[in-house]
Amino acid sequence: MNLMDLKNNIDIEKIKEAANAIKSGELVIFPTETVYGIGANGLDGNAVNNIFIAKGRKNDNPLILHISNIDMLDRIAKNINELEYKLMNRFWPGPFTIVLDKNESVPSVVTGNLNTVGVRMPANDIALKLIEYSNTPIAAPSANISGKPSGTNVADIIEELKDKVAYIIDGGDTKIGLESTVVRVIDNKIHILRPGFITKEDLEKIGEVVVDTHVLNKVTDDKEVLSPGVKYKHYAPNTKCILIYSKDNNSMINKMIEIEKQYDKSIVLTRNINLYKFKNAIPMGNTLEEISHNIFRLLREIDNYNADIIIIEGVENSGLGLAIMNRLLRATSYNYIYVEETC
C-alpha cells in the first residue's frame, strides 16, 4: 500500500497515479466530504468484487457509484424523471445519493443484483479529481471492515485496510462525518432510505418526503427492505452500549445517572459534560454538526476503555438529529430507553 498525504495540498500528479491504479482494476481509499470511501472502477466487475472481499461485505448489499460530472450519469442510469433531476441539481455535488434505474453497463456485483443503482457526486476536490482522471464512475462503500463505524480519518482505518488496497489518499478529517443521505423516488414521493446531512426538512423544499420505516426501526421482515444495507449490524463497538433520550434534559440526565450507578465501570458520551459530573464522561460535541463530525471516531475509541457499559446520550430526531439517531440506534443494537417528560 502506498500512502499519499494530500492533507495540505492537492498534488494532481499523485491523484493521476492513484487514478491509474483505479483504471487497472486496483482499490484506492480516498476522502469524501462525508466519510472515506474504498473505491474501484465501477464498471469493472472483478475490481468491484475485490471491494466486497476487502470489507468482508455481504454480496447483496449494493454499492454507490460516484461520478464527477452529470455527463457520466447516462452511462450508468436511465428513465430519470423530472423530480429526480431536480434533486440532483439541487444537492450535487454533495452528501446526497439517489437510487435510479440502472443501465446494462453496470455490473450486477455493484448493485447486489438489483435493477437499480445508487449514484452520488461527492463535494470533495480529491474525490472529484480522482473520478475525473479515472474516467469512470467509482464504486465506493465507506472505508471500514463491515460492521465497524465508517472511517472519517486515515488513522482510524489504516490498520484494518492497509494490506487490502493499492493506495490510501489522506485528505485529513472528513467534514461531515456521517454517510450521505440515500433517497429513492417512488410514485413522485422522495423516500429517505438512509438519513444524512441533507435532511428531511431540506428535501421537503423539493417534494413530498417519506421516511422509510427502517430509519428508526429494526428490520423484522427482509422482504420489506428497500435498502439492503439496513439489514446488517453496523457501527457497533464491542462494548455493551445503551442509548438514552428524553425531550426533557433533566429527565434524560437522571436516567443516565441511574444506569451509571448499576455498573462498576461506565463511560458516558454526553453533550451535558458541564451540567452534571458523570464518573467517566467524554464530550460528544455540542451542536448536531459537531456530534455528526465526532461520532464515528468516538464509537471506534470507546472499546479502548474496557468499560462494562457505554451510556450514550441521544439527540432530538429532527434535522441532522435524525441521521445521528439512526446511526446511534444501530450502534447500540436498538438497546434504547426513551424517557417520557416528568414535568
Q: Which stretches of the chain bind Mg ion, using CB under 5 A?
A: 142
Shortest distance in whole angstroms from residue 275 CB to ligand TXA: 33
Is residue 142 involved in binding ligand TXA (CB under 6 A)? yes
Residue closest to ligand TXA when measured from CB atoms: 229
Is residue 62 involved in binding ligand TXA (CB under 6 A)? yes
Is residue 50 involved in binding ligand TXA (CB under 6 A)? no
A 10 A CB-CB count for 233 gives: 11
CA distance 138 to 286: 35
Is residue 43 involved in binding ligand TXA (CB under 6 A)? no
CA distance 275 to 191: 38
Q: Where would I find the H helices in the chain?
A: 12-23, 45-55, 73-76, 82-91, 125-134, 154-161, 200-204, 249-261, 288-301, 321-331
Number of H helices and E strands in the chain, helices first, is 10, 17
Site for ligand TXA in 171-230 (CB under 6 A): 179-180, 182, 193-194, 226-229
CA distance 106 to 117: 8
Out of Mg ion, ligand TXA, none, which partner does residue 194 contact, by CB within 5 to 8 A per kind?
Answer: ligand TXA
Out of ligand TXA, Mg ion, none, which partner does residue 31 contact, by CB within 5 to 8 A per kind?
Answer: none
Is residue 116 involved in binding ligand TXA (CB under 6 A)? yes
The residue count for the chain: 343
Out of ligand TXA, Mg ion, none, which partner does residue 321 contact, by CB within 5 to 8 A per kind?
Answer: none
Residue closest to Mg ion when measured from CB atoms: 142
Element (H, E) at 138: strand 138-139
Name the site residues for ligand TXA (rule: CB under 6 A). Answer: 32, 34-35, 37, 61-64, 95, 97, 99, 111, 114, 116-118, 120, 122, 140-142, 179-180, 182, 193-194, 226-229
